[in-house]
Amino acid sequence: MSDSLPDASIESSGISAAVRELEEDIVLGSLHPRERLIEDELMRRFALKRHAAREVLAELARRGLVERRKNIGCEVRAFAVQEVVELYQLRELLEAEAARILPCPLPTEALDRLKAIQREHDHAVADEDPRAVFHTNLRFHETLFSFCNNSVLQRAIQEYARQTHAIRFSSLVDASYRERARLEHWAMIAALEEGRREDLIRVCRGHLAPSRDAYLAANRHLSRREPGSN
């Protein structure tokens, strides 16, 4: 049994690495909406056994990044226009509510944590490294909303943020969107530091719009999947 434990650990690590890399590929647009993910190709690319490749696809599905379609197989999730609109409406409600109950002004120690993460985000933007931008952006928002004294709200924000990972690629790969997000992060920090709650709420609400609008602009053809479309 002791011999099998390292093998299981290695396999688990390989699955996690494959999920992370494929998530990045989807978020950054290397894999496009409705592009198929094929088990054999994943096995070759990541040196996985078939059951491990299937677990990778299952985890991506749990994260809302891929979907299984009858007679087609597993493909990158494509969002209908109304679905995008509704997801972002809900995210706006959740994050605006969090902004309303966050400590404002935020304690110095918490502000210092946010500033340190944002400096990493600044470097990622300056280096034009979309993968680092994606991960530091996630850390910034997860840390920001972790200061909200409502664990259920925190989990809801994380869940619906995750469900929109595949919508973000158009904004993450565009330099002007990345710069706008960077400046808005600093605006949130300034509002928290100076106790300007209404400004914080306004910035948090507006911060979500670019990724929604960019996805809809880049994928107008996907609206044909909506009910009643021709």
User: What rounded mean pLDDT belongs to the chain?
Assistant: 89
What residues contact 208, with CB distance under 8 A and at least 6 apart? 88, 91, 92, 95
Residues 179 and 109 in one domain: yes
Residues 118 and 61 in one domain: no
Question: Would you say 167 and 215 are in contact if contact means Cβ atoms under 8 Å apart?
Answer: yes
Give tens-digit pLDDT for 111-167: 999 999 999 999 999 999 988 999 999 999 999 999 999 999 999 999 999 888 888
Is 230 domain-assigned?
A: no
Lowest mean pLDDT among 8-12, 46-50, 62-66: 8-12
Is 110 domain-assigned?
A: yes
The enclosing domain of 115 has a CATH number of 1.20.120.530
What is the spatial distance between Cα 36 and Cα 77, in angstroms, rounded to a whole number? Answer: 10
What is the spatial distance between Cα 162 and Cα 90, in angstroms, rounded to a whole number? Answer: 13
Q: Which of 76, 97, 114 is the last residue of a domain?
A: 76
Q: Which of 13, 45, 76 is the last residue of a domain?
A: 76
**29/201: higher pLDDT:** 201
Q: Which tokens hold the place of 218? A: 């880049």
Q: Which of 76, 101, 128 is the last residue of a domain?
A: 76
Judged by DSSP in three states, 32 sits in coil
Per-residue pLDDT band for 1 (boundaries 50, 70, 90) equals: very low
Is 121 domain-assigned?
A: yes
Residues 39 and 103 in one domain: no
| Model pTM score | 0.83
Predicted pLDDT at 217: 83
Helix (H) or strand (E) holding 13: helix 4-27
Predicted pLDDT at 175: 86
Write out the residue range of the structural domain in which residue 32 sits.
Answer: 4-76
Q: Which tokens hold the place of 175? A: 């330099």
Q: In 19-132, where do the E strands start and end?
A: 66-69, 73-76
Predicted pLDDT at 186: 98
At residue 11, does pLDDT exceed 90? Answer: no
Predicted pLDDT at 174: 82
Average pLDDT over residues 46-53: 94
